[in-house]
Amino acid sequence: MPPLEALIREVIAGEGPMRLDRYMSLCLGHPLHGYYMTRDPLGERGDFVTAPEVSQVFGELVGVWAVAAWGAMGRPAAFHLVELGPGRGTLMADILRTVRKAAPDFAAAAAVHLVETSPVLRDKQKAALGEGPSWHGQFEAVPEGPMILIANEFFDALPVRQREKRGGRWHERVVGLENGRLVLGLGPEVPGGEGAEGAIVEFAPEREAVARAIGGRLARHAGAALVIDYGHLVSAPGDTLQAMRRHRFVPVTEAPGEADLTSHVDFAALAKAFRAGGAEAWPALTQRDFLLAMGLVPRFEQLASRATLETRATLHRQMERLAAEKEMGNLFKVLAATSPGLGMPYPFGRP
Ligand code: SAH
């Protein structure tokens, strides 16, 4: 039995079934056995592949967006360029390479801050980015000041809770022990609104707390934040908690600490939390619409024009992966939040 499963069973045997948010944070973040603490999960040989790992173009276009945001902020001579959950550091490396060429003043003004809990991934980030960045364990530790913040596939990894309606009442969903196995079940009664019998509603206080803190920062200093993740634009009931191992879905109670555990981001709730913190949040776009508006196709065409036939096919495949409706294009959404008064950033708010 994996050590983390033994530990979770012990806790449940002693204290009773545990809430999903606690289960999720133990699985992902337990200091010794948590999923992210013990491995680099990214890449074809790992458990999942993210957009920056698909193509450099993703980071290049995010970099272009960041430079435009910096322009809207009045081109401050010093600001914090923050990334939450930078993985292997690929996205930040692609952003920095792009801005050093295209906007050296931006590059000179940026102090890079990475928010990362995983020691394994911090090492990868150091290998990709050198000793230049500052590392922090949480967003709140990033120093105050003007900021541009990027988060790709970060919020999906923050713990969620779920409530389920049974017998006309809402109950917390919990992980318990049944016949010697970890199972999902119903816990104590909790308050909840309308909902059909059997409905499951997800909510994510930890995600919202981070978004509120970012919103507060944007209210105090000029800045902008760009959040990219899989999820839905409108809040709706549904269980989206998922465990993924080697590119396959597995039951969420199977092999705790060995599978990636995530849930879809409720972008409406996230936007509300940014606003509650004091920022403006703009209607989210699909990743497809965002990338197309940022110049995805011409950039790929430019790369293809100086590539071999074989590489051209690969480039085409990468572009499809990022933007095709059946791939990441529609499932992934992009949300921007800005300091009040900064105005709506391109390409948000377009039809
Ligand atoms: N953004 C990267 C990696 C996504 S995986 C990419 O797109 O490739 C999620 C990242 O968030 C990992 O770097 C993981 O270690 C980090 N992470 C997960 N939970 C975190 C937390 N609570 N605080 C800070 N970082 C966290």
Q: In the chain, which residue ranges form alpha helices assigned H by DSSP?
A: 3-15, 20-29, 35-38, 51-54, 56-72, 90-102, 104-109, 119-129, 205-220, 267-277, 287-293, 296-305, 309-323, 330-331
Give residue 350's pLDDT band: very low, low, confident or very high (50, 70, 90).
low
Structural Rg of the chain based on CA atoms: 21
Nearest to 158 by CA among 72, 281, 261: 261
Q: How far is the CA of 86 from the centre of ligand 1 (A)?
A: 6
Residue 227: which domain range? 3-160+202-299+328-338
pLDDT in tens, 23-49: 999 999 999 999 999 999 998 888 999
* Averaged pLDDT of the chain: 96
- Asked if residue 306 is part of any domain, the answer here is no
- Asked if residue 180 is part of any domain, the answer here is no
pLDDT of residue 39: 93
Tokens found for residue 96 = 């920095």
- Asked if residue 343 is part of any domain, the answer here is no
How many domains is the chain partitioned into structurally?
Answer: 1
pLDDT of residue 1: 87
The pTM of this model reads 0.97
- Asked if residue 245 is part of any domain, the answer here is yes
Average pLDDT of the segment spanning 69-84? 98
- Which CATH number is 22's domain given? 3.40.50.150
Ligand 1 pocket residue status of 118, Cβ below 6 Å = yes
Burial letters 102-134, b for 16+ CB under 10 A, else e: ebeebbebbbbbbbbbbeebbebbeebbeeebe
pLDDT of residue 316: 98
Q: How far is CA 236 from CA 151, 203, 207, 231, 313, in A?
A: 23, 10, 17, 11, 39
Give residue 245's pLDDT band: very low, low, confident or very high (50, 70, 90).
very high
Tokens found for residue 133 = 């960045």
Q: How far is the CA of 196 from the centre of ligand 1 (A)?
A: 34
Tokens found for residue 134 = 């500052």
Q: Which of 116, 142, 206 to mutate to test the pocket of ligand 1 (most atoms within 8 A of CB)?
A: 116
Residue 62 CB-density burial (10 A; 0-12 exposed, 13-18 middle, 19+ buried): buried
- Asked if residue 178 is part of any domain, the answer here is no
Atom 13 of ligand 1 has which residue's CA nearest to it? 87
Give residue 351's pLDDT band: very low, low, confident or very high (50, 70, 90).
very low
Atom 2 of ligand 1 has which residue's CA nearest to it? 87
Q: How far is the CA of 116 from the centre of ligand 1 (A)?
A: 6
Atom 10 of ligand 1 has which residue's CA nearest to it? 85
Ligand 1 pocket residue status of 87, Cβ below 6 Å = yes
- Asked if residue 350 is part of any domain, the answer here is no
